[in-house]
Amino acid sequence: MFIYSLRASTLKFFGVVALAVLTLAALIVFVPQYGETAATEAEAQTVDYTGMRTNEDRIAFLARFGIEVEPTPLESCEFTVPAEFDRVLAGYNEIQKEQGLDLARYARKSVTRYTYTVTNYEGYEGTVYANLIIYRDRVVACDICSADPHGFVSGLTGERDT
């Protein structure tokens, strides 16, 4: 015959094991959400956003997306990314997140925006611009937009949002 006694330390041990199992089960339930994020980040990693030291580098970057531009930027300006985004900038950042970028990571940082005139955009009669926002030789945001105030803004890989 076996006699087994339970002490308070034994109860604590089994309580900790049960809590660990419950925690692990909760993490497994939320893993698919992390998996989707990882897939989006993996897609973003297929595009190299680094090495934007010269104008030629920026033009070559746009060419990877099939975008041809005039060789001289129409405009280049330096600005500081705000700490808090208004409704418009939050919407713009959603476009960036679809491309695997996040402008919010660069809050309070000084960045440079280069604007190029696109020469090969089909399906739109007006002027189209390509914008690259660069921080330390890295593209942190990019878009294609029309000059028309009622036109469109989209990511380099996305659909036009008219």
Q: Write the pLDDT tens digit of every residue in 66-93.
A: 999 999 999 999 999 999 999 999 999 9
pLDDT on residue 44: 46
Q: Write the pLDDT tens digit of every residue in 53-72.
A: 999 999 999 999 999 999 99
39: Cα separation from own chain's centroid: 13
d(CA 75, CA 114): 6
Q: Which of 6-15, 94-103, 122-131, 152-161 has the lowest mean pLDDT?
A: 6-15
d(CA 143, CA 161): 11
Higher pLDDT, 114 or 158: 114
Q: What's the rounded mean pLDDT across residues 96-108?
A: 94
CA-closest candidate to residue 67, choices 116, 136, 108, 124: 116
At 7, the pLDDT band (50, 70, 90 cuts) reads: low
- Sign of torsion over alpha carbons 34, 38, 39, 44: positive
CA-closest candidate to residue 160, choices 146, 148, 147, 142: 146
Q: Write the pLDDT tens digit of every residue in 122-162.
A: 888 899 999 999 999 999 999 999 999 888 999 987 655 44
Q: Write the pLDDT tens digit of every residue in 16-63.
A: 778 888 887 777 777 655 444 444 444 445 788 999 999 999 999 999
Are 61 and 114 in contact by the 8 Å Cβ rule? The answer is no
pLDDT on residue 20: 81
